[in-house]
Amino acid sequence: MVFFWLLVLGLLTYVLLQRSVSRITRTPVWLLWLVMMLPAIILTGWFVVNGSEASPPNALLLGLFIVCPILYWVLIQRGRIAVPQTTKTEDNSPEPALPVPAKPALRPIDKDEEAMLQGCFPWSVYFLQNIEYRPQAMICRGQLRASPTVAYDTVKENIRRHFGDRFLVLFQEGGQGKPVFALVPNPQNQTDSGQAHTLTRPGLALGLLLVTLFTTTAVGTYLAGVTEAQLQDAPGLILQGLPYAVSLLVILGCHEMGHYLMAQRYNMRVTLPYFIPVPFFLGTLGAFIQMKSPVPNRRALFDVGIAGPLSGLVVAIPLLLWGLTQSTVVPIPEEGSSLLNFEALDPKASLMLTLLSKLILGSAVAADQAIHLHPVAIAGCLGLVVTALNLMPVGQLDGGHIVHAMYGQRIGSIVGQVARLLVFGLALVHPELMIWAILLFFIPAADQPALNDVSELDDRRDFLGLLALTLLVMIVLPAPGILTRLLY
């Protein structure tokens, strides 16, 4: 069992690294994975050799959890893709971080083009004061004299009219609250007609979906109580795993399609959802899409980020409610229960589960009882867990996008740092969250900025963002004692 969870942790770690840091460093993902997994591998070996009762030396623990994070950081920095980072200029104003990969040094513009560029900044919307030439960008500093949206749209259109698709136009927060424009080489100014099909790769997406359907069906058969001997005698019993498999894939698929369709609405280049099949554990490690173009503005960043969790919840909650009607109440085991113990799930481990289980089961479930979940209820419960993990306000997770869009990149980064500490504290109470708490520390806390990272959201989106964070709290935090005394 120990090696099983070590394998699961290894797969989750690799997927997270592939999605989060592979775009910011040239260091091989497998090397970063090895450094991250080194503490778990060494400690597993220690307990195998010395027994579960033996405690590893404090020196070993301190060495692992100090040296490995430092080595991980050093490896990322040594291979970091060279983009202009936040640096101090002569006037002590930080230079904006750019959300595009490193490209050959920007070709200097001649005098005529510089005059043309200066004409792209009307004094009534953005009074241009100077142009700084950087190795891979031109930083245009000045005074904002109109709303950020009007200024960005005006300058972007002027530059497109004079320079075509030669540059990407970025609008970032500068020092002392003064937004600055940055022009970087456009990596997508040369496209071909077959690129869209290459990007989506429908054959690969369909193939992964079918394989994942098979692996989740096999796991669902086990969750439905079918033994290996029964399955050998009657292979048709594998169909009993379909309710779990279809429910889980619909939840995950709706989550990713929410991202995909919203990105399409903003004309962003994204891949189709790709499922990750595994022949054990839950039958899948989830699904993902990849964005191949910069996010145009914070509104688009927010809409794409929140569309996935809300779409998944719209499907997960009804399936969970129906699954609870088919579930049975059992005593809480002596060794205790948890949020991921589907044979004896303690609904009090989650505020939302407490409310939903009381809504469906009523007085049938008492304070000292747990729930043996139906396979469909298991899929719905996993939908809540996946939603909560994605809503963590850290880096490039959905929650990180939401907080960044609401409060800006700098505040979003601070919130990400605080959230990682809070999740680690929560994991001390709920040990099943410890793996995720550790992984959060290896996800960059700062999200990539949008092209227009200055224009703020409207009140409706701010409300939806707060609602999403409230849902995160309701899923992750256990029910408070005063509520359980009222309900049970």
Tens digits of residue pLDDT in 62-72: 676 677 777 87
Q: What residues are paired with 180 via a beta bridge? A: 172
User: Residue 16: what pLDDT?
Assistant: 65
User: Residue 113: what pLDDT?
Assistant: 86
When pLDDT is averaged across residues 111-129 and rounded to a whole number, the result is 90
User: Residue 27: what pLDDT?
Assistant: 80
Output the pTM of the full model.
0.78
Residue 425 CA to residue 418 CA, distance in Å, equals: 11
pLDDT at 471 over 90: yes
User: Residue 86: what pLDDT?
Assistant: 42
Find the Cα–Cα–Cα–Cα dihedral 164, 170, 175, 178, rounded to 10°. 70
Residue 324 CA to residue 275 CA, distance in Å, equals: 26
Phi, psi of 293 (to 5 degrees): -140, 155
pLDDT at 94 over 60: no
pLDDT at 85 over 50: no
Q: Which residue has the higher pLDDT, 200 or 124?
A: 124
Residue-wise pLDDT for 308-337, tens only, equals 999 999 999 999 999 999 999 988 887 666
CA dihedral sign, ordered 139, 144, 145, 148:
positive
Residue 440: partners with Cβ closer than 8 Å, 6 or more residues away:
392, 394, 419, 420, 423, 424
When pLDDT is averaged across residues 124-153 and rounded to a whole number, the result is 89
Residue-wise pLDDT for 10-31, tens only, equals 666 676 666 666 666 778 877 8
User: Residue 243: what pLDDT?
Assistant: 94
Q: Token pair of 236, please?
A: 């048709």
Closest CA to 184 of 251, 116, 105, 125: 105
Q: Which residue has the higher pLDDT, 426 or 464?
A: 464
User: Residue 298: what pLDDT?
Assistant: 93
Residue-wise pLDDT for 216-246, tens only, equals 999 999 888 888 888 888 888 888 999 999 9
User: Residue 93: what pLDDT?
Assistant: 47
User: Residue 152: what pLDDT?
Assistant: 93
- The overall average pLDDT reported for the chain is 82
Residue 484 CA to residue 115 CA, distance in Å, equals: 70
Within the chain, what is the greatest distance between any pair of CA atoms? Answer: 82
pLDDT at 51 over 80: no
